[in-house]
Amino acid sequence: MAEEKNDLMEKIVSLCKRRGFVFPGSDIYGGLANSWDFGPYGSQLKKNIKDHWWKFFVEQRDDMVGLDASIIMNPEVWKASGHTENFTDPLVECKKCHHRHRADQIDVTKGCPDCKGELSEARPFNGMLRTFLGPIQDEGAQVYLRPETAQAMFVDFVQIQQTSRKKLPFGVAQIGKAFRNEITPGNFIFRTREFEQMEIEYFFNPAKTKWEEVFAVWQKAMEEWMMTVGIDTAKTHIVDIPDGDRAHYSKRTIDFEFEYPFGQKELFGLAYRGDYDLEQHEKVSGQELRYLDSETNEKVRPHVIEPSLGVERGMLAIILSAFEEQKLEGDDVRTVLHLKPAIAPVQVAVFPLMKNKPELVERAKEVYSALKKDFRVEFDDNGNVGKRYRRQDEIGTPYCVTVDFDSLEDGAVTVRDRDTMEQTRVKTEELKKYFENNF
């Protein structure tokens, strides 16, 4: 069973590399500490996931606005937020092989997981990545790359509220890079030192709205979103994080965990941060971070519910949920990614039946150009049609369109469905409507 799971992870990593989803970063120099680059299809898939999230949680709602803040913030932000002091993991080092581990992720009583050597005492290790601003690299120039996108949404709260004129309750959404100096990055794109977050801070007046209700609404919204992007909900589990294990700012956290081949682990999180952050920033900055309630004329310090989603973890869960190896005749195996059309890197592939027949190529290019105005379309005339289908199946293209000799006579094309492999004749002028109905 464990072997089968390792095998599955190997297949996913290999498919991602082979088909241009994810490559090892700095590969020609031997890579760099579990860093990954997202290739032509991977960057498109990642973008589609983020666009879908933004549309779902920002554009289609009346109570949400966006923010795109700097990665490097004033270091006072991290003092106020508690990250300088509390954003730590317990680090142990093996006295024999000198490998480092997180004490909370291994059984320390069994010694070093790599060589069984004796482990050092655990010491807190701060997970923020440091750099320097300007030419002089002294303590005064030291800054951090943000470990979460969240803080700017607190720091900018008043400007966001005043310029958007939103009334409580309302939320702020942000997508962007975050950095953590993880002790043990690994498991492909699951745990890296550089990653992207899609976060929301949903502000509400605790005197008017119960936090438990807001929390439940956001839990449901996250579940709905996960379904619409094709995360297998049968493999998703909700885990209530007990007191003592939660982040320093949280009064309640649930993790959405996913059954990855390497174990059931955190996918996304939902936290009730109370007014911890706004209060801390008020104290340290000396600025008021409040909302003027026009009904009561009271200045309110809102509380927040925070849905926080990692883009790469989401992408991995989506790929794992979509992956299937279908046994066909004999030893033939068809590898398919059943990606939802909304996020598939390519939505329609267009082929001429034969590449050496100019009349077919010309008509196929016309079909391709027309569809490209509305969908993500790829033109492919490499190899034979069977090979093109297999390639498109592996990158998750929902439909392939073939222009054949009959097309020149009847103005119709063959549309092949990735999931059922069924083929349908559709008039070229009806293709747009056909896909709109099926996407």
- Residues at the contact surface with ligand GAP, assessed by CB under 6 A: 148, 150, 180, 182, 191-192, 195, 197, 199, 266, 268-269, 306, 308-310, 312-313
Convert 135-154 into a string of H (helix), E (strand) and C (coil).
Answer: CCCCHHHEEEECCCCHHHHH
In the complex with ligand GAP, the residue whose CB is nearer, 268 or 435, is 268
Cα-Cα-Cα-Cα dihedral sign, residues 211, 215, 216, 221: positive
Q: What whole-number distance in Å separates Cα of residue 178 and Cα of residue 310?
A: 9
In the complex with ligand GAP, the residue whose CB is nearer, 178 or 401, is 178
In the complex with ligand GAP, the residue whose CB is nearer, 83 or 416, is 83
* Closest approach of ligand GAP to the CB of residue 65, in Å: 18
Cα-Cα-Cα-Cα dihedral sign, residues 133, 137, 143, 144: positive
Query: Are the C-beta atoms of 256 and 269 separated by less than 8 Å?
Result: yes
* Closest approach of ligand GAP to the CB of residue 304, in Å: 10
In the complex with ligand GAP, the residue whose CB is nearer, 249 or 291, is 249
* Closest chain position to ligand GAP (CB): 310
In the complex with ligand GAP, the residue whose CB is nearer, 236 or 347, is 236
* Closest approach of ligand GAP to the CB of residue 242, in Å: 15
* Closest approach of ligand GAP to the CB of residue 424, in Å: 39
Exposed / middle / buried, residue 436 (Cβ in 10 Å: 0-12, 13-18, 19+):
exposed
- Identify the bridge partners of residue 269 per DSSP, sorted by sequence position: 255, 308
In the complex with ligand GAP, the residue whose CB is nearer, 224 or 430, is 224
* Closest approach of ligand GAP to the CB of residue 245, in Å: 11
* SS3 state of residue 169: coil
Half-sphere exposure of residue 327: CA atoms within 13 angstroms, side-chain side: 2
Secondary structure letter of residue 31 according to DSSP = -
* Closest approach of ligand GAP to the CB of residue 87, in Å: 9
- Identify the bridge partners of residue 102 per DSSP, sorted by sequence position: 91
